[in-house]
Amino acid sequence: MATGTLMQRYTEYNDRLKAKGIKLITFACPSCGQSIETGPAPEGDVWDTLSDCPHCNAMFMKVTEGKKAYGLIPEAPPQYVDLIFQDGRTESVDVSKAEHVLELGGFAPKI
Ligand SMILES: [Zn+2]
């Protein structure tokens, strides 16, 4: 099991890369905008990996293309459920947007 906070592990990992003489590249977290350091990919290679931001803990897909890196936050795919109200109205609701469901009636439909 990993020990230490995400920030400690992130710092230690990057320090090890720097100690090996690897020049790190930086990119902005797609969630909080803070700068994140990462190792470059070999020229011509594209790496993608699920990552956590050491600043805000947001989970995102990190894409490294040579000396460029960026983060993408995947959107939940829409998932529609047909709600039938007591007055007979029906509405198709995208339950991947949970706040919307809560606005409608304060309950989550059975899926
Ligand atoms: Zn962040």
Domain membership flag for residue 1: no
pLDDT tens for 49-93 read 999 999 999 999 999 999 999 999 977 788 888 888 888 898 888
* Ligand 1 center to 76 CA (angstroms): 19
Q: Judge whether 36 and 55 are in contact, CB under 8 Å.
A: yes
- The beta strand positions in 1-111, using DSSP E, are 25-28, 35-38, 46-52, 59-65, 68-72, 80-84, 90-94
Domain membership flag for residue 65: yes
Do both 18 and 43 map to the same domain? yes
* Ligand 1 center to 70 CA (angstroms): 12
Measure Cα distances from 58 to 18, 35, 100 in Å: 24, 13, 22
- The lowest-confidence range among 11-15, 23-27, 77-81, 100-104 is 100-104
Domain membership flag for residue 105: yes
Instruction: Provide the number of structural domains found in the chain.
Output: 2
* Ligand 1 center to 31 CA (angstroms): 5
Q: What residue numbers bound the domain in which 21 lies?
A: 6-72
Using a cut of 0.75, tell me whether the model's pTM lies above it: no
